[in-house]
Structure 1
């Protein structure tokens, strides 16, 4: 219900905390930060947001927080702010009371921004650029914040709490996952309601994933230049509000839709991780619009160029950088994160361009205020934290240097796996490190192998199918003459002369493409670390060679579920299910500690070892040979300790649990290769062959076999059990005698 106010209404002083608009049953308290404003007005609007009903100065400012309390204000009230102060870009100030400003703590928006020149704080046609203030009212084009009730009956909902070492992440787009689902009602497609559709939950459970990672779902500002081209910002890395969900993702405009979705995912045992963008905002550089932070206190919210405060530091490549070293800006980010955990029961966050978040005035610092604040926070330190460990600034590539407690996107894993299976020279030493959890990057400060978040594809770049179907990007649909997107894809189209880009009817090319894709997927799911699947790769989704589909809010980016029902889609889907089931069975693969070959779970069998095709460890010269494209990896591990020892079944005296041994054989060459299996001889069982992914485990008996053929462009997995040394029997107590002691 939206209240109706008269122009002569007045505000009481209210309180400076909490920030934002909060209803207490009798009225609403409004509080907003601005260190440099001389006055901040609260503006109230009609139910449809078109008419400004009242404009009232916030009566108090305490510790740079402007605040006021409006008695009798009701839930559903639409509001915004106008901030007064100097318009002096040279000193970093861009106050313009003609611009309606969105509350940085707004928890629901009335709709999208409607583009108009009035959104800009300066006169667009002025010869002085951004130095001349614009006096047009931007309220008609701006969404309004809505005062909301956050109550929800969560029942017995609790976080699934999946241990990191058991986590399998499925990266997807909230909208794209359901837009082509014929079995979902049209008005629900692309919304939170479709995210928790039982058929989608069943797909995730049968696949074996434990968490969905959603591309940004904070409210976003659609880029004007994209709309003018008939395109849209699909990925959503253009944040308009850090507390409000994107309005277009709500089917009924009710916030409880998201809570219901999370509740049902949790009930299925699936965690929800949000991709969040706290490194920059949608307001861009000095030529961007004024919609919120810029108009409230530009000099506080953004990092400006020292000595030239008219300009913005831009290590993100997106026009600006949030000023996280400022305590109020850092508070906003932490308040936002806690809000999503407490209000929506979110299980974790993936931080876009996280190196920017760790930038202090002297550069990137793993002990930066942001990291310290998150890791000591009693709420945030208990959820999953994932960093994208790079940005475009100096020293921005920081893979392996984020603090303990964070997992990191491992692009070295991605590039190495792509290059190895493409047949590039000199890759097997690098591949050995990546398969072992990238200990060279993460085995420090008591970090665990799960810190390496392994992936071969993500939303940004080629899909798995395109990775083996295109040698170069094909981004013409983006309208940028194919200049956008990376040129370093490490891909191949696998035609004999490289001339067949994309779709083909040639069965030999299709077979080879499928063979390489299957080998890469198997490498991802059998490597130590946390694997991340990109939605649709499990059945071979294509984006027609577009490796930068950020603006393609259409069938090019949406998941085509019909393709999953084709024979090829079903074959790949069944293979992924099988591999994830094997990963759950084989604790030697998902071990929670790094292995370095200096521990022998069984005499003569180290916890990790590497072998050549002759069954012997590679010599230094063999490791250095760039033309060898084969590798064998053996891992051995005892069963993991129970998290609750009191529930573990006690072993019998003199009995120890068998040690699990796995052997992965990789052949990226063009011809089949025979591997001699390393000593000591074990009763190996063939569990998986990526060239024949539907071959049952019992398909080839392995008793007494000492060699194994591995086809070209294939990975083979063997497993065995070995008996560890028996624990010593406890000493028996001495028998008592019946003789009485003598005096």
Structure 2
């Protein structure tokens, strides 16, 4: 190895390794380092061939230009400086570091004690200092030219009110799908089989669980498991190597282009609230070794980390260079990969300041004013585990938010819990109590029945206890309260009545989702009854538990889900941006919303307060304030009934009109039929009638 390879001065921007056709510019941020090195490696990554000190420094950015360094060159970083954990500094030049701006990685860290900055097992723990070279156990960064022949690719630019999200794990959704080849990566997502399923179902966007490079936690590897979900990011610019093949990042770009051609947007679940380096006893892989005191929020005793995320650390988004990294990463995925939106994991953390959560925090202002990011869809997971971390409804427009109160309310209503009528009424109207402020639209509520974190829809109707033994945590992990129902038998059943009741419950819940105001999100596999065998925290299950089982797909449920999506698309009353508040419309003087009792009379305050109420019936129109040209249909009548046999009397239609039944979860694939007289339900069900002219 040589360390006498003098670089040209180069430039302080852009950060990372940037190939210009002749060579590569390296620029790295560190506020507190005393020296920074770029380390070049042989083609197989086994030999460090050169160690080049970056002698130029503009502010806190170290930089240099290496002629002749081309795409494919493997490299890493080393930083020298003070090792003083009590002061927040953990520099250790013996540790090879991942470039935070690396565009591609060769693999994942191998768990050896050498990747820690301290001596594992030492009496002084992280206050000790380890001098072993970690390079043999570290993935290498790859100089990459991200250019791609996009041709005429354009984003479908689906309006939010027309958006139907399909949340999917990139490997899990493709691993067992016939015709999705090669299995488990971006090329499988781009396959005719996968795109055919999505377009046939009718969803408009795929929201992928994290695809940024992430680590396999050591405690999981020691148990023979792996980090399946990917919420331990270590590189915010590089797609995870497990999802790429021989042609590298072009495969991710190809997948986005194919989905766009099919009219489907691509959202990424991104994790900027923490990194995979863990707490003070974690490894030194990237940020910790480059500038621990800048990249992380530290406690008053600066040896330790603030842990608002539950993962051991919290990124210091208030630092301008950490903010810059996040913003650069987001723009990179939009401009280089053409993604259409982001779902921000634990987004409350990104809005934290020294005084707590602030909807006017710098991150939100930066995103909203950015000329690139302000054009894509932004979705917040509106909580973290820190003080005051639950912030549903508090995010600024144009952010939409995952609505867990919708999830819980729908589950409890259909389970038959008492006193849920008023709650579910608000949820199916877009949760105005949470979102109708600051000019926010009803689409700000991302409605979900299930998500990756928790039961699948099939398991919500089959289990009341979590079955997470395969996770190796003695079944202590995962949600304890799932508002689920097993109909008297835990897990699979041979009882025809139980199975029929479960199937009906699934249809009722799916119907509720697609008939609600807001933005619906469907968990991949729920459309055909995919089960995880009662595991409600399959984060470590890169196997048959976590993968979708296409071979056991319920074709009838899939057909009904497809019907519901098509019905939603056909009826703009179901996907309005304005909230419905029973306000008079200028066009006809009618309120935009009526709530009806079973006998055809309007609901009274006493009716709403009755804890035994199991029936809700709403007559919906285009919202008050909707321009006349946008009022493209007359009215819909929705009935959600979670009780025993009952009879529903619809309001009399105007002269020349009639009510036509289009959706009936008890006859899910029946053709539309005019409704004559009262409607009898023999048990739980969802009914939808359309007011049509004779």
Q: How would you bin the TM-score normalised by the shorter chain?
A: over 0.9
Tell me the number of residue pairs that the alignment of Structure 1 and Structure 2 aligns: 692
Q: For residue 491 of structure 2, what is the aligned residue in structure 1?
A: 502
For each residue in 1:190-218, what CA deviation from the matched residue of structure 2 results, as whole angstroms up to 9, or x when unmatched? 01111011121111111110000000000
What residue number does 1:140 align with? 136
Separation (CA, whole Å) in 2 of partners of 1:510 and 1:484? 28
Alignment of 1:94-493 (within 5 A): 94-185=90-181, 188-306=182-300, 308-493=301-486
On the 8 A contact 1:639/1:660 being kept in 2, the answer is no
- 2:474 match: secondary structure: coil
Change (3 A) 1:191 1:662: same
Report Cα offsets for 1:80-124 as digits up to 9, x if no partner. 111111110001000000100110000001122111000110111
Q: Is the 8 A contact 1:602 1:722 kept in 2?
A: no
- Which digits, 9 at most, give the CA deviation of each residue in 1:518-569, with x for residues without a partner? 10110001000000000000000000000000000001111111122xxxx1
Is 597-606 or 403-412 further displaced after alignment? 597-606
Partner-residue secondary structure (3-state), 1:413: helix
> How far apart, in 2, do the equivalents of 1:599 and 1:381 lie?
34
What displacement does 1:253 show?
A: 4.5
| SS of residue matched to 1:417 | helix
Counterparts in 2 of 1:629 and 1:116: CA distance versus 1, 3 Å: same
In structure 1, what is the Cα distance between the partners aligned to 2:383 and 2:339? 24
Larger radius of gyration: 1
Whether contact under 8 Å (2:585, 2:623) holds in the other structure is: no
Q: Corresponding residue for 1:598?
A: 583
**Residues of 2 paired with 1:334 and 1:183: CA distance?**
37
SS in structure 2 opposite 1:341?
Answer: helix
Aligned to 2:666: 691
1:733 — aligned with what?
A: none
Task: Name the counterpart of 1:551.
Answer: 540
Matched with 1:730 is none
Between 673-682 and 516-525, the greater mean CA deviation after superposition: 673-682
Q: Tell me how far apart the structure 1 counterparts of residues 626 and 358 of structure 2 sit (CA, whole Å).
A: 35
Change (3 A) 1:638 1:375: closer
CA contact (8 A) 1:685 1:720 kept: yes
Q: How far apart are the structure 1 equivalents of 2:632 and 2:339?
A: 39
| Counterpart for residue 505 of structure 2 | 516
Residue 636 (structure 2) aligned to one of 657, 662, 666: 662
Residues 329-355 of structure 1, C-alpha deviations (whole Å, 9 max, x = no match): 000000000000000000000000000
Secondary structure at the residue paired with 2:513?
helix
Question: 1:327, CA displacement in angstroms?
Answer: 0.3
Report the Cα distance in structure 2 between the residues aligned to 1:603 and 1:256, rounded to whole angstroms.
55
Which range is displaced more, 29-38 or 74-83?
A: 74-83
How far the C-alpha of 1:7 sits from its partner, in A, is 4.4
The corresponding residue for 2:689 is 718
Q: In 1, distance between residues paired with 2:475 and 2:133? A: 38
Aligned CA distance change for structure 1 residues 216 and 411 (closer, same or farther; 3 Å) = same
Contact 1:207 1:576 in 2 (8 A): yes
The alpha-carbon distance between structure 1 residues 64 and 470, as it changes in their structure 2 partners (threshold 3 A), is same
What is the rounded CA distance, in whole Å, between the counterparts of 1:18 and 1:169 in structure 2?
34
The offset of 1:180, in angstroms, is: 1.0
* d(CA) in 2 for partners of 1:217, 1:335: 16
- C-alpha distance in structure 1 between counterparts of 2:50 and 2:195, whole Å: 47
The answer on whether the counterparts of 2:180 and 2:189 sit within 8 Å (CA) in structure 1 is no
Shift of 1:151: 1.4
CA distance in 1, matches of 2:171, 2:605: 51
Partner Cα separation in structure 1 for residue 10 and residue 557 of structure 2: 60
2:679 pairs with 683, 700, 708, which one? 708
Matches within 5 A, 1:40-51: 40-51=36-47
Contact 2:459 2:532 in 1 (8 A): yes
Consecutive unaligned residues of structure 2, counting only runs of 5 or more, are none
For residue 605 of structure 1, report the CA deviation from its aligned partner: 3.6
Query: SS of 1:562's equivalent?
Result: helix
Distance 2:631 2:393 in 1: 35
What are structure 1's unaligned runs of at least 5 residues? 649-655, 724-743
CA distance in 1, matches of 2:59, 2:512: 55
Correspondence 1:635 to 2:620? yes
Is contact 2:179–2:192 with CA below 8 Å preserved after alignment? no
Alignment partner of 2:509: what SS?
A: helix
Residue of structure 2 aligned with 1:9, choices 5, 9, 12: 5
Q: 1:640, 1:601 → 2: CA distance?
A: 7
Q: 1:75 and 1:202 mapped to 2: Cα distance?
A: 35
Give 1:33's aligned residue: 29
The answer to whether the 8 A contact 2:491-2:534 is kept is yes
RMSD: 1.7
Correspondence list, 1:506-655, <5 A: 506-564=495-553, 569-600=554-585, 603=588, 605-637=590-622
User: Aligned partners of 2:141, 2:336: CA distance in 1, in Å?
Assistant: 18
Matched, 1:74 2:70: yes
SS state at 2:594 partner: strand
CA distance in 2, matches of 1:154, 1:165: 28
- Cα separation, partners in 2 of 1:504 and 1:313, compared to 1, 3 Å: same
Deviation of 1:640 after TM superposition, in Å, equals 11
- Corresponding position: 1:678 with 2:672: no
Q: Secondary structure at the match of 1:666?
A: strand
CA contact (8 A) 1:437 1:594 kept: yes
Quote the offset at 1:585 in angstroms: 1.2
Segment drifting more, 257-266 vs 678-687: 678-687
1:722 is displaced (CA, Å) by: 7.1
In 2 relative to 1, CA 534–68 (structure 1 residues): closer, same or farther, beyond 3 Å? same
Aligned mates of 1:711, 1:662 — CA distance in 2: 22
Q: Which residue of 1 aligns with 2:84?
A: 88
Partner of 1:732: none
Aligned counterparts of 1:324 and 1:388: Cα–Cα separation in 2: 17
Structure 1 contact 464–540 (Cα < 8 Å) conserved = yes
Give yes or no for contact 2:38–2:52 (8 Å, CA) kept in 1. Answer: yes
Superposed displacement of residue 310, structure 1: 0.4
2:57 aligned partner: 61
Structure 2 match to 1:728: none
Task: Decide whether the 8 Å contact of 2:583 with 2:624 is kept in 1.
Answer: no
In structure 2, what is the Cα distance between the partners aligned to 1:666 and 1:638? 21
* Structure 2 SS opposite 1:49: coil
